[in-house]
């Protein structure tokens, strides 16, 4: 062997020896540097604009009996409008974690898309935010899928929301370093079911696909590869949004088919057997729980929005806070009864922003004035609840001083899942901090 | 004359000469041997426009049923299309549901087998709005001929879930 060849081989072997411990099964070169505190995080946007007066300060009584301790009765003038919900079972959720009673959405317009974008990117927005576009900075899903080592499959990250506005766009950003390659699966449950009266149009149009056998699938792949081979130049794989592997897509297809079949059988007319009506928030939560049970995702974000009725109906706003509180309790119970997620999940709950101190001029049937959210100081006052295993999250802790901001949630999720240190400084510098006050 | 102007004139002359030399030096002579110069491009190369949700659904429906989708059906399907983040997944699901509809218009396997060249050309025109080049036609013919289980339905499915079908 000549000298040049010897040196070349020696160099390659040396590089291989040095790199091999870091080349992971998931084809990543470097392992995440942090240690996971838990293996699952569920983030619930208790959204629509909740004012701390009605939530933490219980100005109308305890509208959140599943989450908060206390038996304050609901204001007599609106109590009759409250739908009947099951009584809380067990201790209020605040016993299982830390409650930040004076959390802040400190900057940016108190608009829903601004608030949601901030909550899911960890970066405050400005009035320049284009509500028809994806966020400029990466979402938590993208950070998770790019910097997490063990399970980068899109099946592990879900964004579940209704169809209002640009929310579907929050499953990935337009940042060129991240984008759809690292995005989350997105699901709008009621759009999938697409009820037309009692009929699920989703069932009618999507539940009867031609099922190809293994041999047919292989032949189809062969032909598709032939077509795609002649169309390589112009194709941008990211044009299709996020991409699941074939195996994951099969799993999702089966999940969808089961959902639609059950919808057609009437299983979702009142899946929780409630006296109260099923709102889109309750459906969102119900299907988030279906996703949890089916896929056990490491990162799931679920949105509720019905509270925003407060623009025109304060009393119904209070009713919807109660429904969201109930939905959250079922979410927690589902997490704790799902093997693999029980005692290994942190649940974070926060509104995207609050509501104004002063009302608008709309009066509801109970004589209550409605409230908007136009960036006054009160609309920046929110709460945050972090629930989780006793060895990770401080139990039954209430922090009543002004502590924590919306932009702190994403760094905290990244820290809990062990990849905070891997987020490049250019992004981390725009975010808030890790909410270590909640840690044991 | 001011020496500064003389010096500047010299520099300008040198710069101009350099530019002339750069753009004229080492130019490779191109020979043409009685054949017209042709730019070699792949077929379909001009398809840079991604179909919108509505376009994808309505075109797929027309391609398979030979008629225009009703507005009611289009609206319903579009709502369901928007329910998912993975567009390839939902497009695949929509196409497979169309293919399972009794009203779908498909050639028979016997027709395909007996007229494979015409079937391939027609299918390219139907789904890609263009004819296949010789290589494409030869290769697809080879795939279909080698596998007797391939049906027109499977060929249609493969076309409609290909990358090119998402563009126009």
Tens digits of residue pLDDT in B64-109: 999 999 999 999 999 999 899 899 999 999 999 999 999 999 999 9
Residue to substitute from B85, B127, B130, B153, interface A, most A β-carbons within 10 A: B85
In a domain, B17, yes or no: no
Arithmetic mean of pLDDT, B8-25:
56
B165 φ/ψ angles, rounded to the nearest 5 degrees: -65, -20
Residues ≥6 apart with Cβ < 8 Å to A132: A166
Residue A358's Cβ-count burial label (10 Å; 0-12, 13-18, 19+) is: exposed
Identify whether the C-beta of residue A304 lies closer than 8 Å to the C-beta of residue A285. Answer: yes
Mean pLDDT of A118-133: 86
Whether A188 and B82 lie within 8 Å, measured CB to CB: yes
| A224: pLDDT strictly greater than 50 | yes
d(CA A348, CA A89): 20
CA pair distance A241, B83, nearest whole angstrom:
13
Close Cβ partners of B95 (under 8 Å, ≥ 6 residues apart): B60, B64, B157, B160, B161
Model confidence over A24-66: pLDDT tens digits? 434 444 456 679 999 999 999 999 999 999 999 999 999 999 9
Q: Answer with the residue of higher pLDDT: A395 or A126.
A: A395
Q: How far apart are the first and last CA of chain A?
A: 60
> Does the residue B24 lie in any domain?
no
**Residues A39, A344 contacting (CB under 8 angstroms):** yes
Residue B9 has pLDDT above 50, yes or no: yes
Tell me whether residue B99 is in a domain.
Answer: yes
Instruction: Read off the CATH number of the domain in which B57 is found.
Output: 1.10.3130
- Mean pLDDT (whole number) for A350-359: 97
Q: pLDDT band at residue A168, thresholds of 50, 70 and 90?
A: confident
Q: How many domains does chain B have?
A: 1
Q: What is the pLDDT of residue A76?
A: 98
Angular region, A170: left φ>0, alpha ψ -120 to 50, beta rest: alpha
Higher pLDDT: B21 or A215? It is A215
- Domain ranges, residue B142: 53-166
Both structure tokens of A375: 């960036």
Token pair belonging to A120: 């899911």
Given this model, what pLDDT does residue A340 score? 95
| B65 part of a folded domain | yes
Task: Note whether A202 contacts B158, CB cutoff 8 Å.
Answer: no
Q: Do A171 and B85 touch (CB under 8 A)?
A: yes
> Residues 6 or more apart from A134 whose CB is under 8 A from it?
A166, A169, A170, A172, A173, A174
The pLDDT assigned to A38 comes to 97
Q: Rounded to whole angstroms, how far apart are CA atoms A127 and A121?
A: 16
CB-based contacts of A66, cutoff 8 Å, min separation 6: A88, A92, A93, A325, A326, A328, A329
Distance (Å, whole) CA A82 – CA A338:
31
* Core vs surface per residue A5-26: b (16+ CB within 10 A) or e: eeeeeeeeeeeeeeeeeeeeee
Chain-centroid distance of CA B14 in Å reads 50
pLDDT of B117 above 50? yes
Q: Average of pLDDT values for A369-386?
A: 97
Q: Give all strands (DSSP E) within A47-82, no chain letters.
A: none
Residues 225-244 of A with CB under 8 A from B: 226-228, 230-235, 239-244
pLDDT at A24: 44
Q: A179: Cβ–Cβ under 8 A, 6 or more apart, which residues? A: A142, A172, A173, A238
Q: Confirm whether B89 is domain-assigned.
A: yes
Mean pLDDT of A269-291: 93
pLDDT band at B50 (very low <50, low <70, confident <90, very high): confident
Inside any domain, residue B22: no
What's the CA gap between A269 and A200, in Å, rounded?
Answer: 11
Q: What percentage of chain A carries pLDDT values higher than 90? A: 79
Q: Dihedral of CA A187/A188/A189/A191: which sign? A: negative
The B residues from 137 to 166 touching A (CB cutoff 8 Å) are: 139-140, 143, 147, 149-150, 153-155, 157-159, 161-164, 166
Beta carbon pairs, A and B, within 8 Å: 154
Domain boundaries, chain A: 37-210+270-438
* Cβ contact, residue pair B93, A253, below 8 Å: yes
**Residue B42: inside a domain, yes or no?**
no
Domain A37-210+270-438 sits in CATH at 3.40.720.10
Give A162's pLDDT tier (boundaries 50, 70, 90).
Answer: confident
Tell me whether residue B97 is in a domain.
Answer: yes
């Amino acid at each position: 062997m000549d000298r040049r060849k010897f040196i070349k081989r020696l160099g390659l072997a040396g590089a291989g020896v040095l790199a091999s411990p870091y080349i992971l099964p998931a084809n990543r070169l470097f392992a995440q540097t942090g240690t996971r505190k838990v293996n699952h995080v569920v983030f619930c946007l208790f959204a629509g604009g909740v004012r701390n007066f009605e939530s933490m300060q219980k100005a109308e009584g305890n509208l959140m009996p599943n989450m908060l301790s206390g038996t304050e009765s609901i204001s007599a003038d609106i109590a009759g409008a409250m739908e009947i919900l099951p009584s809380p079972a067990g201790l209020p959720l605040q016993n299982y974690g830390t409650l930040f009673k004076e959390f802040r959405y400190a900057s940016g317009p108190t608009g829903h898309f601004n608030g949601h974008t901030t909550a899911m990117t960890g970066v405050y927005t400005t009035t320049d935010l284009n509500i028809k576009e994806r966020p400029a900075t990466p979402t938590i899903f993208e950070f998770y899928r790019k910097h997490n080592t063990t399970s980068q499959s899109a099946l592990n990250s879900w964004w579940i929301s209704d169809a209002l506005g640009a929310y579907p766009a929050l499953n990935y950003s337009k940042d060129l370093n991240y984008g759809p390659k690292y995005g989350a699966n997105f699901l709008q449950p009621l759009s999938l079911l697409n009820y037309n009266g009692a009929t699920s149009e989703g069932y009618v149009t999507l539940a009867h696909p031609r099922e190809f056998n293994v041999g047919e699938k292989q032949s189809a792949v062969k032909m598709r590869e032939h077509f795609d081979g002649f169309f390589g130049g112009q194709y941008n794989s990211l044009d299709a949004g996020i991409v699941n592997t074939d195996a994951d897509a099969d799993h999702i297809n089966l999940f969808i088919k089961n959902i639609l079949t059950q919808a057609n059988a009437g299983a979702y007319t009142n899946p929780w057997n409630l006296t109260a009506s099923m709102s889109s928030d309750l459906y969102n939560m119900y299907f988030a729980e279906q996703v949890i049970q089916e896929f056990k995702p490491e990162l799931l974000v679920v949105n509720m929005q019905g509270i925003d009725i407060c623009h025109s109906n304060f009393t119904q706003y209070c009713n919807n806070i109660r429904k969201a509180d109930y939905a959250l309790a079922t979410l927690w119970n589902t997490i704790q009864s799902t093997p693999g997620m029980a005692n290994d999940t942190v649940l974070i709950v926060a509104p995207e922003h609050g509501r104004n101190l002063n009302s608008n001029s709309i009066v509801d049937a109970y004589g209550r004035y409605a409230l908007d959210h136009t960036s006054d100081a009160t609309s920046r006052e929110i709460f945050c609840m972090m629930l989780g295993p006793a060895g990770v999250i401080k139990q039954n802790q209430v922090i009543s001083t002004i502590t924590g901001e919306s932009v702190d949630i994403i760094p905290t999720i990244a820290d809990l899942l062990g990849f905070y240190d891997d987020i490049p400084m250019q992004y981390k510098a725009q975010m808030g901090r890790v909410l270590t006050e909640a840690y044991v | 004359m001011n020496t500064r102007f003389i010096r500047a004139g010299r520099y300008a002359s040198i710069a101009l000469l350099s530019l002339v030399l750069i753009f004229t030096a080492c130019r490779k002579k191109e020979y043409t041997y009685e054949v017209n110069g042709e730019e070699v491009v792949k077929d379909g190369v001009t398809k840079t426009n991604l179909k919108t949700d509505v376009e994808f659904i309505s075109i797929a429906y027309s391609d398979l049923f030979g008629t225009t989708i009703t507005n009611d059906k289009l609206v319903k399907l579009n709502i369901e299309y928007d329910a998912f983040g993975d567009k390839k997944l939902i497009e695949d699901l929509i196409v497979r549901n169309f293919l399972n509809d009794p009203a779908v218009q498909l050639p028979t396997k016997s027709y395909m087998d007996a007229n494979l060249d015409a079937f391939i050309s027609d299918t390219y025109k139907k789904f890609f709005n263009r004819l296949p080049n010789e290589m494409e036609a030869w290769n697809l013919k080879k795939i279909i001929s080698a596998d007797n289980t391939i049906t027109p339905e499977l060929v249609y499915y493969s076309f409609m879930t290909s990358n090119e079908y998402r563009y126009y």
